[in-house]
Amino acid sequence: MDIQGRKVDLDSGAVAYIIAPKYEDTEEFLSAFLESVSALPPNFETGDDAVVKMVSQIAISKAITSPKFKASMWKCLSYCLYVGKGKTAPEKISPSLFDTGGVRSDLPAIFYECAVENFSPFFVGLYNISNRLSEAIRSIQKPL
């Protein structure tokens, strides 16, 4: 089967194909995510894995309960495909796909993979620019 997109093998034995949406939809999704987690502390830094995990869970909980976030997530997922265990024909991912109980266990992994597909390019770019800016500031602060 020749399907464009990133193939993700799911724990259930099904396969998801995560396909990048139009930029406009990615931007809407990222914006909804950032709005939903904007109440979290902006300068949060710690080496404590338990605290990092807790803050991550709070961020995810705030995001998935946001109507704007959910709508933009489903819009991005509508580009993606799902091939159930033992099936050969791909189906478009939509909320109705998960009406069957056995398929629901794949939903968290598909949500995660969709978020990675949409957010990673932005955050990787932002991280790289942030590092370059930090280096420039440090070089300016060095005594001559």
Q: pLDDT of 41-99, one tens digit each?
A: 655 555 566 666 666 667 777 777 888 888 999 999 999 999 999 999 999 999 999 88
- Identify which has the larger pLDDT, 120 or 76: 76
In this structure, the number of other CB atoms found within 10 A of the CB of residue 73 comes to: 22
In this structure, the number of other CB atoms found within 10 A of the CB of residue 109 comes to: 16
Q: What are φ and ψ of residue 55, in 5° steps?
A: -65, -40
> Would the pTM of this model clear 0.85, i.e. be above it?
no
Q: pLDDT > 70: what percent of the chain? A: 83
User: Does the pLDDT of residue 33 top 90, yes or no?
Assistant: no
- Identify which has the larger pLDDT, 72 or 136: 72
- Report d(CA 46, CA 27) in Å as an integer: 29
Confidence at residue 40, expressed as pLDDT on a 0 to 100 scale = 63
Mean per-residue pLDDT of the chain: 83
Confidence at residue 53, expressed as pLDDT on a 0 to 100 scale = 67
Question: Locate tokens 């830094």: which residue?
Answer: 45
Do 47 and 136 form a contact (C-beta atoms < 8 A)? no
Do 16 and 81 form a contact (C-beta atoms < 8 A)? yes
pLDDT-based confidence at residue 130 (cuts at 50, 70, 90): confident
Residues in the chain: 144
- Report d(CA 139, CA 50) in Å as an integer: 35
- Report d(CA 51, CA 53) in Å as an integer: 5
In this structure, the number of other CB atoms found within 10 A of the CB of residue 84 comes to: 19
Q: What are φ and ψ of residue 133, in 5° steps?
A: -65, -45
Do 55 and 44 form a contact (C-beta atoms < 8 A)? yes
Q: Whole-angstrom distance between the N-terminal and C-terminal Cα of the chain?
A: 62
